[in-house]
Amino acid sequence: MTAIERRAFVQGAGLGALAFTIGGAEVMLTPRQARAERVPLRTLTAQEGAALDAIGETLVPGARDAGISNFVDQQISIAPEDALLQARILNVHPPFANFYRGALGAVDGASMKAKDRTFAALSPEEQHDLVGRMRVNKLDGWQGPPAPLVFAVLRSDAVDVVYATMEGYAALGIPYMPHIEPTRKW
Amino acid sequence: VANEKVDLVVVGSGASGSVYAYALAKAGRKVVVLDNGPDRPLGDLISSDIWGRRLKPAGGAILLGGKNPFAYANQGAYAVGGAALHYFAQFPRYLPTDFKMKSEHNRGHDWPISYEDLAPFYDRVAADVGVSGDAKAEEKWRPPGKAYPMPPMKTFPAGEVWLKGAEATGIHLVPMANGMNSQAFKGRAACLYDGWCHVGCPIGALANPLVTYLGEARKAGVEVRGLSNVTRVLTNQAGTRAVGVEYYDANKERQVQEASVVVLAAWSAQNPRILLNSATGKHPNGLANSNKLVGKFMMTHHIAGTWALFDKDITPHMGTVGAQFMSYDRYAKTSYPSAFGSSFITAGTSHKTNDYSLARADLFGRELAVFMKRAARGLTHLTIFGEELPNIENRVELVSEKDEYGMPMARLTHSFDADAVALWNANFDQGVKIGRATDAKEVWPGKGPIMPTSHLHGGAIMGTDSSSSVTNSYGQTHEVPNLWMAGPCIFPTEGASNPTYTIFATALRGAEHLAEHWESVAL
């Protein structure tokens, strides 16, 4: 068997399909597809989802359309041992929903204190400034998980949906070269 | 539920547990292996940094403390095959000096064995699992031994670019010894150099337990039960013998597996947790712990990484996650005037997009997007692992919180001392010096507010004296002769090089000793 045969070259796939619920039925979609289909969030509130979209886009351009809020929402709605989040590698203790709720609430809280608006309502320049101060733990009124940890976890989620997918590799001009392609559910 | 009694129950199916299962099954013993993770087929090893996270623990029952908490989840495992399912398969040996820390430097501990005692087992493991490398080239630093069964792995520009800088700064790089196939080996495929080793190699080119010792053990009739959480080692009324283990199965039902001999091979933090939770009236401090050394002398490596960015395409994504080159030129414990301890240099691992983003963890927004494009063509890394001396304050102990099975969780407390910090800083200076002597456009130390940790050792150290160690040199506990410990938990010092080859070798030595002396151990 040749090397080329043992590789599973595929075209245009994404993160891999995850199980989303639409109208009570389970469907397999990529996070980008879930966003395009307006799949409702299961665990995050609409405000939390909006905050996550805005923070994700600030951290990694393209994260919003790549479906960061659908990705995180789906992942914190399943058993922790099945989750694909970088949070597990960074020793965040499950349930992961607690961390994300605390983190997103802290971001909006800091935004309200500084600008009297939620993070999603800030201008891109204001969002960039606030995230920069979150990274170095210089935000007044921060109440939640450590700000640098929130920065690291949310940045990683945004990197995941934009760059760690097969589409992301293609955008950077890198051949993905999977042995086993990430297009199916484990 | 009580199960049929077996000869041997092994707790953990990684590098050490798989060896015990293999060796004892080969000797005709009936063996059961219990692992807390799921038993995944090779086809589940998806080539993705995102999906690969499922091979690691999610939360778990080990809480982290100290000034420098250990990166437990990143290094641990949640799968049959253990951490050796997602390891980098770098196979450097320890050097003779690692076994004589106390004798040569009056610090730390001596091992109860020498390099010469272990050398034959390094050679045996290489022949069993397949190692690619250049043994002759390594003999600059170690005694001669057998050639590896395969020539070195291929090299790629992301590794080769370091050669110039190393040579200019007096560092001799040789091919890394890798537990990977540079050519087809024992019916297993040759490596494709696609750089997905760290999320599990589904083609069998990397020597993970599923395709080596555990695979052979299964062929010999060993039963492997995944999703089996062991909570206690059970002992007889007199407290003189282990009689089996208590565990909770995939349905979270309590089970008892009786056995003539028990081997704990569940890694350095979980092994002490089980021993401490096995306390009885006869063993009030926990099993094998009358000297209160169970869970003590936890050690890890610190990592000083140097990034280099070239303005040409060096194919960072190609190759193996195991490095292409290595050097022991800073391995002597007194290599630096300002620091003490061994350092092990590796260069040229393959990187994927998540790695690029971590190379500049401070960037976000448009700046990150620009950097990612440059990194995709020109990023590479040099890693220097540094040794930490054994410190009794670095420890595992039970806490009051309990897991879903009612078993107390444990806290792993870890802090680096001044020696380790000094060595870490010296290694950054060394790495940047090498990087600046390459043709790189930019060179920077990967130094953040956290001292990165890698590999875990200690917790049930071996020695000759039962008052100052938990096991003998084979892993047999001093206090309960049919209870054995396996893996890096028995290492009394840690050296600086990747430990898994030495884990395999010490486990093979212990397992064959157990097989040869079965009648006297099992009674």
Summarize pLDDT for A86-101 with one digit per residue, the tens. 999 998 989 999 999 9
Nearest to A186 among B44, B352, B372 (CB): B44
Looking at the partner chain, which of B71, B361, B365 has a beta carbon nearest the beta carbon of A58?
B365
pLDDT of residue A25: 84
Q: Is the CB of A163 inside 8 Å of chain B's CB atoms?
A: yes
Partners of residue A154 in chain B, C-beta under 8 Å: none
Instruction: Give the mean pLDDT per block of 10 residues along chain B (523 residues).
Output: 92 98 98 97 91 89 95 93 97 98 98 98 98 98 97 98 98 98 97 95 96 98 98 98 98 97 97 98 98 98 98 96 96 96 97 96 98 98 98 98 96 97 98 98 95 97 97 98 98 98 98 98 91
Segment A76-91 shows an average pLDDT of 93
Across B36-103, where does the E strand assignment appear?
Answer: 62-65
pLDDT the model gives residue B78: 96
pLDDT value of position A24: 82
- The beta-carbon neighbor of A6 closest among B57, B71, B203 is B203
End-to-end C-alpha distance for chain A, whole angstroms: 26
Q: B49, B152, B230: which is closest to A85 by C-alpha?
A: B49
Place of tokens 């220097």: B384
Per-residue model confidence (pLDDT) at position B59: 76
- Determine the pLDDT at residue B347: 98
Helix (H, G, I), strand (E, B) or coil at B374: helix
pLDDT > 70? residue A185: no
Alpha carbon distance B232, B246 (integer Å): 5
**Amino acid sitting at position B59:** G
Per-residue tokens: B44: 């589940």
- Whole-angstrom distance, CA of residue B479 vs CA of residue B470: 8
A182 touches chain B (CB under 8 A): yes
A54: Cα within 13 Å, side-chain hemisphere: 23
The reported pTM is 0.96
Burial B461-477 (b: 16+ CB within 10 A, else e): bbbeebeebbbbbbbbb
Q: How far apart are CA A86 and CA A160, in angstroms?
A: 9
Residues 258-317 of B with CB under 8 A from A: 317
Q: Tell me how far apart the alpha carbons of residues B160 and B65 are, in angstroms, rounded to a whole number.
A: 39
Instruction: With both helix axes pointing from N to C terminus, report the angle between A46-59 and A147-163 in degrees, rounded to the nearest 10.
Output: 80
Q: Quickly state the pLDDT bin for A179 (edges 50, 70, 90).
A: confident
**pLDDT of res. B273:** 98
* pLDDT value for B419: 95
Asked if A92 has any chain B CB less than 8 Å from its own CB, the reply is yes
Contact B5, B244 (CB under 8 A): yes
pLDDT of B512: 98
Q: Pick the closest to residue B95 from B436, B341, B395 (CA basis).
A: B341
Half-sphere exposure in the Cβ direction for A122 (13 Å, CA): 27
- Which of A:9-38 have CB within 8 Å of B? 15-16
B183: Cβ–Cβ under 8 A, 6 or more apart, which residues?
Answer: B150, B151, B190
Structure tokens at B436: 């600046």
- Rounded Cα–Cα distance for residues B498 and B454 (Å): 9
CA nearest to B197 within chain A: A179
Q: Going by C-beta distance under 8 Å and a sequence separation of 6 or more, which residues neighbour residue B7?
A: B24, B29, B30, B31, B259, B260, B261, B522
Res. A15 pLDDT band, cuts 50 70 90: low
Name the residue facing B46 among A58, A163, A182 (closest C-beta): A182
Question: How is residue B260 written in tokens?
Answer: 């003539």
DSSP B82: G
CB B299 within 8 A of CB B458: yes
CA-to-CA distance for B3 and B228, rounded, in angstroms?
A: 13
- pLDDT surpasses 90 at A172: yes
Taking 60 as the threshold, does the pLDDT of residue A11 lie above it? no
Cα B308 vs. chain centroid, distance in angstroms? 27
The string of DSSP codes covering B308-331 is EE-SS---TTSB-SS-SEEE-TT-
Q: Is the CB of residue B189 less than 8 Å away from at least one CB of chain A?
A: yes
Spatial CA neighbour of B273 closest among B485, B84, B3, B416: B485
Q: Output the pLDDT for position B160.
A: 98
Q: Indicate whether this complex's ipTM tops 0.85.
A: yes
Q: Cα angle at B51 between B48 and B57, to 5 degrees?
A: 130
Q: Tell which residue, B385, B395, B393, B365, has the closest CA to residue B302.
A: B385
B 66-125 residues with CB < 8 A to A: 69, 71-74, 78
